[in-house]
Amino acid sequence: MQNNARAVALEALNQIDQGSYSNLELNKTIADHEFKNDADRRLVTELVYGVLQHKLTLDFYLQPFLKKPSKVKPWVINLLRMSIYQFEYLDRIPEWAILNETIEIAKQKGHDGIRRLVTGVLRSYQREGHQSLDIIQDLPDRLSVQYSVEIWIVKALLDELGAEHTKSILESINQPSKLDVRMNLLKFGRENIVQALEDDGFEVEPSQVAAEGLVVSGGHDLSHSRAFDLGMITIQDESAMLVAEAMQLKSGEQVLDVCSAPGGKTTQIAQYVGDTGSVTALDIYEKRVALVKRNAKRMRLNRIVDTHVYDATKITESDFYGKFDHILVDAPCSGIGLLRRKPEIRYSKEISDTVSLQKLQLEILNAAAALVEDKGLLTYSTCTILKTENQETIKKFLEDHSDFELEKVTTKLKIKDDRESLDLNIYPDDFESDGFYIANLRKVR
């Protein structure tokens, strides 16, 4: 079953359970196998993301049919999850095909006892169906199982945003992700970029969120398209594009990006400051800095971007020969805003992570603050939607830095401009994009 779509999807799910990132593991797994057609590749993607997005729901459905799940091998649990996902969410696949292939995988990968277990569970499920979510009386517990998000995240959202907004966000994150790209308008014309994408079979429409963004559909592998190879575009979520927009950059300016990998925001900053400006891009690991270099070179911006391997908590003015008018701290965070695009985050993070991350975020902000020129702007961003790492981090920073003040975040398309807050929250249900937080801190004295 070397190139069987279901067997390959199972392989990827098992690796993700061991700590691999879903997007990287899926790309690697698909590249390592030779499929007969695109339908098999699409099925692998559907099964991997589908199981990850609905794992807690699938486990709830399986619960009555597994007497001792803790004694069942993890790969068998994933095989059963994958089968139930197909029964419940994929209408076009006949049940006999799901059953036959699942049993065949169990037989080839395991022993006869595993085959009998899998056959028995699936036959019973076919006869009896799944238990109703209505038996879960507690609201946080029910939302956790219904939308497959760990209970601590649900409780945090309910506490911060209320039931209606929490339900809206949870419904949103189980919808398919859009494919967004940012245009390199420093080096190419808008019409030429759109034409190159359309020539490769993609359908293109302008983003309603980000000024340089496009929403792309159809076509084949965007990362091997002519537009991508030539550096006309980079793949980036619409919300992420708003960070550099918020920095109020001008041509010729010198900017410091202290947590720059993989380079999406770095290259966008480079486009804004142009060939007469510069971006000093830092990250803590050589491999991550290499990603920034590669992206800058592909987009023909490498002469603007100067990369360094550096710990952002330890930066000093003497290291970089002066201060900067603009500094970006795109801080390490829990990534709770990425639950649609990286569903494994739902299960891998704990509430304690948000507290420890806040400490790291403040260390980076404190170090960066010393390098901000008078009247300069320090922009803070995360891809989470929890207050601990966002508003509370900024509140603590301002308590210790009376020389900084919050300034209202504005974007080119005036996103959520009628809000009362000075900082900007983008939630996953606002525009069906990633969740993001952006705060602008002006050094006033």
Catalytic residues: 383
Please check if 252 is assigned to a binding site: no
Residue type, 273: V
Least Cα distance to 53 among 77, 28, 82, 14 occurs for 82
Sign of CA dihedral 89, 92, 95, 98: negative
Q: Kind and range of the H or E element at 352?
A: helix 351-369
Residue 215 and residue 178 in contact, taking contact as beta carbons nearer than 8 Å: yes
Please check if 293 is assigned to a binding site: no
Spatial separation of the C-alpha atoms in residues 335 and 348, rounded to whole Å: 11
Least Cα distance to 216 among 229, 232, 235 occurs for 235
Please check if 59 is assigned to a binding site: no
Please check if 333 is assigned to a binding site: no
Residue 346 tokens, joined: 């739902």
Residue 68 tokens, joined: 């001792």
Please check if 263 is assigned to a binding site: yes
Please check if 265 is assigned to a binding site: yes
Sign of CA dihedral 270, 274, 279, 281: positive
Please check if 283 is assigned to a binding site: yes
Residue 36 gets which letter from DSSP? S
Sign of CA dihedral 231, 236, 239, 240: negative
Please check if 374 is assigned to a binding site: no
Q: Which residues make beta-bridge pairs with 204?
A: 216
Please check if 330 is assigned to a binding site: yes
CA dihedral 284→286→291→296, nearest 10 degrees, is 90
- Would you list which residues are annotated within the binding site? 259-265, 283, 311, 330
- Would you list which residues are annotated within the binding site for S-adenosyl-L-methionine? 259-265, 283, 311, 330
